[in-house]
Amino acid sequence: MKNLKIVFQKDNKKIIEFKPRLFKLVLVETDNMYFKKWIRFLLAYIYGSKFYYLLENDDVVGYLMIEKGNKWRYDFASSNDIIAGPIFIKSQYRGKKYSELLLRIGLEYYNKEYNYQKAFAYIWRTNIASNKLFLKVGFSIVAQLKVRKISRRIFISDQNQMYQLFELKV
């Protein structure tokens, strides 16, 4: 497949890069593709996104999506920035540090190719595992975010919100 590239391989693990197409937004459905997620992936496709899939013995363990920043959707990100996430690991593989490997390799490889200035992520405040992961990898919490329901536009808010904005300066 021409839109697949192996970016990391060690022992029985490999990470492949997948560039979505309009009628194939994801390589493999690993979790529920509810409407809001489908809209998010469609918007990410429009502005430029890539998925990084972690495989163990050729079984898909999980994925990380990275998209280019854009002012229309993210008022805090320029076109020189990226948005990391969502990141998903299948339940049977959790607790094995696979999300950390996937996030580190995905960010490193994406930076080699596109040389971004900052990486951002927005995460539910109650998602403790993801909050810890992004902090461990070097991100800092810099703001609270509000997400518009229909447009999925995301902007900084001075009020206590459901999402936190994480930033990693390169």
Sequence-distant (6+) residues with CB within 8 A of 111 are: 170
pTM value? 0.88
Residue 34, pLDDT score: 67
In which band, very low, low, confident or very high, does the pLDDT at 136 lie, cut at 50, 70 and 90?
A: very high
Radius of gyration of the chain (CA): 15
Each residue of 119-130: pLDDT tens digit? 999 999 999 999
**Averaged over 50-75, what is the pLDDT?**
90
The CATH fold assigned to 4-122 is Aminopeptidase (3.40.630)
Instruction: Say what the alpha-carbon torsion angle 140, 146, 149, 150 is, to the nearest 10 degrees.
Output: -80
**Looking at this protein, which amino acid is placed at residue 12?**
N
